[in-house]
């Protein structure tokens, strides 16, 4: 996960020959200035590359072809400095297979009241030039984000920043391989789904492995590399002497190294495990999963490949930002009328990037799976805003559901030896949970304190899946209608695939 500023977003300006070479020179200079400003703007996580201005259908088509063929280009920002008759864009846009953002901006922030003349009007036409481009994008039913504002407006730049991170995740997803160690937890429905549809829609491919393939890698780990990793545990976490020198921790280190070697050798970016298929492993991988998530791998428990891929995508979006991103599960409720809460946790596998303080390594029995007591990191989470995200397979389409939540301080739970998060769902627990259940949202989620709902909205839009938000402003009647109307919309727009 070290791709920051290595990928490119191309800044593309549309115009036409009508205005003469002098005006076009100015258009090019202005566009280069805006592209350069965005490239240096804080928060922009990839390079913004200025591209020569486009004046003909052929040059537009060539640019779109180049973008499709470029490994580094993850999307386009389009802007019509002047009017750019949009029939010129049809051929190019019809073949473009990268996401694009339409930046409705202009070079000048203010109208120069004293000096404005017809030359100025001829040069600065985006207010109507971008409408022409907007029409053809809508006419062609193209997914895109529209951002409006002066190019130095921090709010507008923030919208672009979010979209670029979503585009980075999209680019990552279409190259993503997910490894499954074992199959699904038996009889569970929501973690199932159509992997062929998922690959067609969301890009990633899912590979199944017998647990023996992983066990083989684990058995090949040398004592010296285990010793080195144990020292790392000692410096990164709180642990008692009895834990530090236990065979259990040694075994956890061996599993971690074996898993990492397996994932690296196959170039996997996400993985799943299941406690129902651990044959040959001495303990359920807990610490290993937690640490691999912290390194950027997506994870889903009980064979949940959709959540594993989602967690990876959320990690790509949030790379370098404050806070963290983890696999999560709604575990149990606090129905106190003075403050209803959800306790989120898992058997073991919560990512330490969301930890409030230095985590502790602990070893306790697991009342499920029938294996040795596993090692795990135990911690609580920093209060603040967060999101829970679920992707489900509805048979004819994928649906993403986002619930905004507020992480709150959690009382001590001395007898609960797992990492956990306490949150208040928006708009409140009763409404939030009812809406989630009505929408079919899973018990497993991708949880993040780094990114907000807008990242997921942009991402869902790029991959073309249904997006539902359960946020602070929420109306249940509208939501129920949205569910009903979406059934019809997706049936018609996508058909049954
Ligand atoms: Mn679970």
**Ligand 1 centroid, distance to 33 Cα (angstroms):** 50
**Ligand 1 centroid, distance to 274 Cα (angstroms):** 9
**Ligand 1 centroid, distance to 185 Cα (angstroms):** 9
Question: For position 366, what pLDDT does the model report?
Answer: 83
Question: For position 293, what pLDDT does the model report?
Answer: 98
Question: For position 3, what pLDDT does the model report?
Answer: 61
% pLDDT > 90, the chain: 95
- 187: helix, strand or coil: coil
Question: For position 496, what pLDDT does the model report?
Answer: 61
Question: For position 368, what pLDDT does the model report?
Answer: 72
**Ligand 1 centroid, distance to 418 Cα (angstroms):** 13
137-175 burial, b if ≥16 CB within 10 A, otherwise e?
A: beeeeeebbebebbbeeeebbebbbbbbbbbbbbbbbee
Res 497 pLDDT > 70: no
**Ligand 1 centroid, distance to 357 Cα (angstroms):** 24
Distance between CA atoms of 130 and 105, rounded to whole angstroms?
9
Q: In the structure, what pLDDT confidence band is assigned to residue 367 with cuts at 50, 70 and 90?
A: confident
**Ligand 1 centroid, distance to 284 Cα (angstroms):** 13
Residue 312 near residue 295, CB atoms below 8 Å: no
* pLDDT tens readout for residues 21-68: 999 999 999 999 999 999 999 999 999 999 999 999 999 999 999 999
Q: What is the mean pLDDT of residues 362-388?
A: 91
Question: For position 117, what pLDDT does the model report?
Answer: 96
* pLDDT tens readout for residues 151-160: 999 999 999 9
Question: For position 67, what pLDDT does the model report?
Answer: 98
Q: What is the mean pLDDT of residues 427-436?
A: 98
Q: In whole numbers, what is the pLDDT of the chain averaged over residues?
A: 96
Question: For position 2, what pLDDT does the model report?
Answer: 59
**Ligand 1 centroid, distance to 219 Cα (angstroms):** 27
**Ligand 1 centroid, distance to 336 Cα (angstroms):** 25
**Ligand 1 centroid, distance to 442 Cα (angstroms):** 10
Helix (H) or strand (E) holding 87: none
**Ligand 1 centroid, distance to 287 Cα (angstroms):** 16
**Ligand 1 centroid, distance to 346 Cα (angstroms):** 6
- 78: helix, strand or coil: strand
**Ligand 1 centroid, distance to 214 Cα (angstroms):** 21
**Ligand 1 centroid, distance to 354 Cα (angstroms):** 18
* pLDDT tens readout for residues 434-458: 999 999 999 999 999 999 999 999 9
**Ligand 1 centroid, distance to 301 Cα (angstroms):** 6
Res 495 pLDDT > 80: no
Res 209 pLDDT > 80: yes
**Ligand 1 centroid, distance to 444 Cα (angstroms):** 6
Q: What is the mean pLDDT of residues 16-21?
A: 92
**Ligand 1 centroid, distance to 84 Cα (angstroms):** 53
Report the 10 Å Cβ neighbour count for 4. Answer: 13
**Ligand 1 centroid, distance to 40 Cα (angstroms):** 42
4-8, 158-162, 414-418, range with greatest mean pLDDT: 158-162
**Ligand 1 centroid, distance to 238 Cα (angstroms):** 26
**Ligand 1 centroid, distance to 167 Cα (angstroms):** 29
**Ligand 1 centroid, distance to 215 Cα (angstroms):** 22
**Ligand 1 centroid, distance to 473 Cα (angstroms):** 29
Res 361 pLDDT > 90: yes
CA angle, residues 358, 403, 195, in degrees to nearest 5: 90
Res 196 pLDDT > 70: yes
Residue 61, token pair as written in the block: 């088509």
* pLDDT tens readout for residues 63-115: 999 999 999 999 999 999 999 999 999 999 999 999 999 999 999 999 999 99
Burial class (CB within 10 angstroms; exposed 0-12, middle 13-18, buried 19+) of 340? middle
Q: The pTM is what?
A: 0.97
């Amino acid at each position: 996960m070290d791709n920051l500023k290595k990928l490119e977003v191309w800044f593309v300006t549309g115009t036409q020959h009508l205005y003469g070479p002098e005006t076009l020179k100015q258009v090019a200079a202005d566009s280069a200035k805006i592209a350069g400003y965005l490239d240096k703007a804080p928060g922009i996580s990839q390079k913004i590359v200025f591209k020569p201005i486009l004046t003909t259908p052929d040059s537009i088509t060539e640019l779109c072809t180049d973008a499709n063929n470029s490994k580094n280009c993850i999307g386009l920002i389009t802007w019509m400095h002047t009017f750019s008759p949009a029939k010129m864009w049809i051929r190019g846009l019809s073949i473009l297979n990268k996401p694009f953002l339409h930046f409705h901006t202009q070079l000048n922030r203010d109208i120069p009241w004293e000096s404005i003349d017809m030359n100025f009007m001829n040069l600065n036409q985006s207010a109507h030039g971008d409408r022409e481009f907007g029409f053809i994008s809508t006419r062609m039913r193209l997914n895109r984000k529209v951002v409006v504002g002066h190019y130095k407006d921090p709010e507008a730049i923030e919208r672009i920043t979010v979209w670029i991170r979503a585009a980075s995740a999209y680019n990552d997803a279409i190259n993503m391989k997910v490894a499954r160690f074992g199959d699904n937890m038996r009889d569970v429905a929501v973690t199932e789904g159509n992997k062929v549809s998922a690959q067609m829609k969301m890009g990633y491919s899912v590979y199944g492995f017998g647990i023996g393939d992983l066990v083989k890698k684990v058995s090949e780990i040398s004592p010296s590399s285990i010793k080195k990793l144990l020292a790392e545990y000692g410096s990164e976490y709180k642990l008692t002497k009895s834990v530090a020198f236990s065979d259990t921790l040694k075994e956890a280190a061996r599993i971690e190294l074996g898993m990492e070697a397996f994932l690296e050798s196959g170039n996997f970016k996400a993985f799943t495990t299941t406690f129902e298929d651990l044959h040959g492993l001495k303990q359920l991988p807990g610490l290993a999963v937690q640490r691999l998530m912290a390194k950027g791998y997506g994870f889903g428990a009980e064979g949940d490949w959709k959540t594993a891929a989602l967690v990876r995508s959320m990690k790509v979006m949030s790379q370098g930002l404050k806070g963290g991103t983890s696999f999560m599960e709604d575990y149990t409720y606090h129905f106190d009328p003075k403050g209803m809460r959800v306790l989120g946790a898992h058997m073991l596998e919560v990512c330490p990037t969301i930890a409030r303080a230095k985590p502790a390594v602990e070893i306790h029995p697991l009342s499920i799976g029938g294996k040795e007591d596993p090692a795990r990191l135990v911690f609580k989470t920093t209060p603040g805003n967060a999101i829970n995200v679920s992707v489900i397979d509805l048979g004819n389409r994928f649906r993403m559901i986002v619930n905004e939540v507020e992480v709150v301080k959690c009382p001590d739970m001395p007898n609960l030896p797992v990492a956990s998060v306490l949150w208040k769902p928006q708009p409140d627990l009763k409404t939030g949970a009812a809406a989630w259940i009505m929408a079919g949202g899973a018990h497993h989620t991708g949880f993040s304190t780094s990114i907000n709902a807008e990242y997921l909205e942009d991402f869902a839009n790029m991959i073309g899946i249904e997006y539902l938000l359960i946020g602070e402003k929420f109306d249940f009647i509208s939501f129920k209608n949205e569910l009903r109307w979406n059934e019809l919309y997706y049936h018609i727009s996508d058909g049954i695939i």
